[in-house]
Amino acid sequence: MYVYMGRGKIQLKRIENPVHRQVTFCKRRAGLIKKAKELSVLCDADVGVLVFSSNGKLYDLATQGNMQGMIDKYVKFTGGAQVTEVTEQEPRDKHVLDAKEEINMLKNRITILQEGLRFMYGGGIGAMSIYELDALEKYLEGWMHHVHSAKMNLMFQEMQQLKNKEGTLRATNKHLQEKVDEEYRRMITSIYGIN
pLDDT value, residue 89: 47
Q: Which residues of the chain have pLDDT under 70?
A: 1-11, 80-97, 116, 119-128, 194-195
Domain ranges of the chain: 1-89
C-alpha distance from residue 168 to each of 136, 164, 165, 171 (Å): 47, 6, 5, 5
First to last CA, the chain: 116
DSSP bridge partners of 9: 4
Listed as own residue / partner, the contacts of 115-119 with beta carbons closer than 8 Å and 24 or more positions apart are 116/140
pLDDT value, residue 99: 76
> In whole angstroms, what is the distance from residue 30 CA to residue 33 CA?
5
pLDDT value, residue 149: 87
Residues 129, 30 contacting (CB under 8 angstroms): yes
Angle at 173 between CA 168 and CA 174, to 5 degrees: 100
> In whole angstroms, what is the distance from residue 88 CA to residue 91 CA?
8
Domain 1-89 is found in CATH 3.40.1810.10: yes
pLDDT value, residue 139: 75
140-174 pLDDT, tens digit each: 788 788 888 888 989 999 999 999 999 999 999 99
pLDDT value, residue 86: 44
